[in-house]
Amino acid sequence: MLNISENRIIENIQEKEFRAFKLLKKSSIRRLPLFLALGLLFLFIIGLFLPWTQNIQAKGYVTTRLPQQRPQGIQSVISGRLERWFVREGDFVDAGDTIVFLSEIKSEYFDPELIERTSEQVVAKSQSIDSYDEKVRALEAQYDALQTAQELKTEQTRNKIEQTRNKISIDSVDLVAFEVNMGIAENQLERIRRLHDKGLETLTKLQEKELKLQQAQAKVSVQQNKLLNQRNELINLFLELSSIEQDYSDKLAKSRSERESARSAKLESIAATSKLQNQLSNYSVRQNFYHIVAPQSGFITQTIKKGIGEIIKEGADIATIMPANYDLAIEIYLRPQDLPLMDLGQDVRMRFDGWPAIVISGWPDSSTGIFPGEIVAIDRFISDNGYYRVLISPYKVGEDKQWPEDLRVGTGANAFILLKDVPIWYEIWRQLNGFPPDYYQVEVEKTQEVKLKAPLKSVK
């Protein structure tokens, strides 16, 4: 049994037939699970003290930070009938390339010579403005002539008034002289009559004196009538002066009215010309809208309108274009309770749909197929879905960790926002108790403090 002899018999012994051998084998087998359990327990205890990176997971999709880099619809500014397509889905177009051609559907634009006819109307209205300018200048000359004529007529009448006043003054002096002569003739006649009554003067002499008195009285009467006529003429001249002022005031007012009417008509012609020029410009610009062009370089991803002859309205989408150059970003949504843990520049790891990855959320450096990023924007208001929107941009660490070149806008993504490093046992305890993850602020280098000057001493 001790295998001391050279003649071995162990080959001839059947261990299955002996109970002792069976008992020995069972005892050795029972120790193996114990060793395994102890080994696993030892590994588990060691694993509890391994570092674990706390993170917040969120789902989102690929987008762009600049609005002009996102997919946009190509719209029609005017209503029209679709006549011809110049592109197909998937084609690359440069900015300004024609996408589709439209024809007119509104009756007021059917005239093929609409621009030429409108141009003729503009020229005609412009010429009418020149005519009104001539009319205004003629009426201004007429107004100046009427003013000059009024001044001359008024001055002439005033001269006549002055002459009449002089005549009245002369006639007044002559009347006084004639009245004096008449008084003298009356005195002489009275003396001759007394002498004749005494027989000292002849009858002939008396009759001569009576004749002189009658002549003097006649001259006085004539002079009085003449003076009265001159005074009446002076009154008529004053009336004529008022009549001249009234007459020329009416003529000048009528001339001013016609001049202002001509100016008003000129302004109306200018307004009509401007309106026609506006219409002409609108017609010219509208013709440029018949050819719908690409607003920027990119790929035609979808044609919304289909058949030839289809009527489209203004503002309706015709096709969708994706810009050729764009800066990618990830748009994710976080719960309000996770928002205080977010900060600009915080590290994020992403996994994109379609790119194979092995993700260990607690050990981001050991994961494969994930890409780095950083938070660049956090919304200040909550979205309609009850979450806050966060934008993530690529974080340039190395060429081997750059985002995939074939990544497209709209691709799904899973984001892991990295927080504090803790032991695994702490993370398990936190998860079991439902506590929020720990948060740490990124330390910012303190700038040198500005030395303040000493305060000035008060002057006594």
Domain map (residue ranges) of the chain: 50-67+326-433, 71-104+290-323, 114-288
Mean per-residue pLDDT, 294-304: 88
Task: Give all strands (DSSP E) within 209-316, no chain letters.
Answer: 291-293, 298-303, 311-312
Predicted confidence (pLDDT) per residue in 114-156, tens digit? 888 888 888 888 888 888 888 888 888 988 998 899 889 889 8
Q: What's the confidence (pLDDT) of residue 93?
A: 92
pLDDT of residue 328: 86
Q: Which CATH number fits domain 71-104+290-323: 3.40.50.720, 1.20.1050.10, 2.60.40.10, 2.40.50.100?
A: 2.40.50.100
114-288 and 50-67+326-433 share a CATH fold: no
Residue 259 tokens read as: 């001049």
Kindly write down the DSSP assignment for every residue of 260-284, as one continuous string: HHHHHHHHHHHHHHHHHHHHHHHHH
List of residues 6+ apart from 24 with CB closer than 8 A: none
Query: Per-residue pLDDT for 305 more than 50?
Result: yes
CA distance 386 to 379: 12
Does residue 419 register a pLDDT over 70? no
What pLDDT does 438 receive? 59
CATH topology of domain 114-288: Helix Hairpins (1.10.287)
Q: What is the pLDDT of residue 459?
A: 36
Phi and psi torsions of 202, nearest 5°: -80, 165
Evaluate whether the domain defined by 50-67+326-433 bears CATH number 2.40.30.170: yes
For residue 297, give both structure tokens. 């370089």
For the chain, report the end-to-end CA distance as a whole number of angstroms: 120
Rounded to whole angstroms, how far apart are CA atoms 182 and 215?
8
Whole-prediction pTM value?
A: 0.53
Give the separation between CA 167 and CA 226, rounded to whole angstroms.
10
Helix-, strand-, coil-residue percentages of the chain, each rounded to 5? 50, 20, 30
At 403, give phi and psi (nearest 5°).
-65, 150
Q: Which of 283, 271, 268, 276 is nearest to 115 (CA)?
A: 283
Query: With b meaning 16 or more CB within 10 Å and e meaning fewer, what string describes 146-185?
Result: beeebeebeeebeebbeebeebbeebeebbeebbebbeeb
Average pLDDT over the chain, rounded to an integer: 79
